[in-house]
Amino acid sequence: MQLTTVGKEVLRGARVSPKGYLEAGAGDPTVQDRLWKLKQVEALRKYRVGWPEIQELLGISRATYYRWRKRLQEEGLAGLKPRSRRPLWGPYPK
């Protein structure tokens, strides 16, 4: 099975484009890694590779893939930025 590199235009554009892509997070290595993993999952699913094998190869779960894909569709590249898992409210010292 041959994996193809996809998303080159987006990553190349992030380096030389106006600030819009950079502000959206295209220059962030985490965003680039997540975008690459999304494209790889799509390529693997095209060849009917099962989720257990995809999880082993790429290290992401099916739920993570669908969450990232939904955020990418709704928010664009900014949706792939890591988000804080810190709660908004918490226990306060008395």
Q: Which two tokens stand for residue 18?
A: 């106006």
**Residue-by-residue DSSP string for 43-82:** HHHHTT--HHHHHHHH---HHHHHHHHHHHHHHGGGGGS-
Q: What's the pLDDT at 56? A: 95
Q: What's the pLDDT at 65? A: 96
Predicted TM-score (pTM) of this structure:
0.67
Cβ atoms of 21 and 28 within 8 Å: the answer is no
Q: What's the pLDDT at 86? A: 83
Domain chopping of the chain, boundaries: 28-80
Q: What's the pLDDT at 40? A: 96
Per-residue pLDDT of the chain (94 residues; tens, 9 = 90+): 444 444 554 444 444 444 555 555 668 899 999 999 999 999 999 999 999 999 999 999 999 999 999 999 999 999 999 988 888 887 776 6
Q: What's the pLDDT at 91? A: 77
